[in-house]
Structures are given as structure tokens and as C-alpha cells.
Amino acid sequence: QTKVGKTSLIMSLVSEEFPDVVPYKVEEITIPADVTPERVPTHIVDYSGSDTQDHVICIVYSVNNKKVPLILVGNKSDLVEHSCMDTILPIMNKYIEIETCVECSAKSLKNISELFYYAQKAVLHPTGPLYCLDQKE
């Protein structure tokens, strides 16, 4: 989605500071293994919704193979007083591919490192089934 704060989240993670001025996209970066909680190098690729205006985004997966774990990230939590988890939980229950969800704020630096930790964990130790349950032999 556009303008949700993707670039700001990456910049807040890297500089531990909310950027007043945010470029439309940041360069690809690799966080070295020794500073990540799971001790694996983490490559972060930004993308700008502005690149894809009037286009369609296709998420392609192989139905008989490993599913890509998804994380729902609710950014800008500084703008609301209450959590939106009540709305999110039914969605999580419906889609087993969703590993976890997290509310965070690039601005108040809330849950930023946690978000990237959950992303690493979702890849390294996924809890969902890796193969389609009704896969034919």
C-alpha cells in the first residue's frame, strides 16, 4: 500500500530516529548477522507505491509448494489511542499464511525492532504448515 510508512520504518530501524524528510524509496540494505536477533543477515528491499500507480500487484505462489509467511504490520499506531487488534484477529484466524501481526510506529519508534525480528522468525521458524494441507500425492 502507498504512504503507509514503509520507507519510514526502514529508516527508523536503521537510524533509530524518525525521518522528518522521507525519500520515496531507500537503497537496498543488508543488516549484518551479528546485529540481528536471530543472527542471520537480513536483506531489506524498499518499494514505493508511487512506482506502481495505475498498475496491479500480483503475488504469485505455487499452490503445491512452500507458502510465503505473511506478517500484517499496522504502522502509525501513534495516531490512534486504541489498538486495532480486534479487527485484525479474525483476519489472522482466517488466513493461516499470516504468521503474526504487529502494531508499530515509525514515528514513536514503537515495535520497530520487534517487527523485523518477527519477519526473521517467520522465515526461520514458521508456525504455519509449509505445504498445502490438501496436497495430492
Residue 40, SS3 per DSSP: coil
**Residue 111 makes contact with ligand GTP by CB under 6 A:** no
- Residue written as grid cell 520507507: 7
Question: Cα torsion for 49, 54, 84, 117, to the nearest 10°?
Answer: -30
Nearest approach, Cβ of 53 to ligand GTP (angstroms)? Answer: 9
**Residue 24 makes contact with ligand GTP by CB under 6 A:** yes
**Residue 78 makes contact with ligand GTP by CB under 6 A:** yes
Sign for the pseudo-dihedral over CA of 23, 57, 99, 125? negative
Nearest approach, Cβ of 42 to ligand GTP (angstroms)? Answer: 18
Q: State the residues that interact with ligand GTP by CB under 6 A.
A: 2-8, 22, 24, 48-50, 75-76, 78-79, 105-107
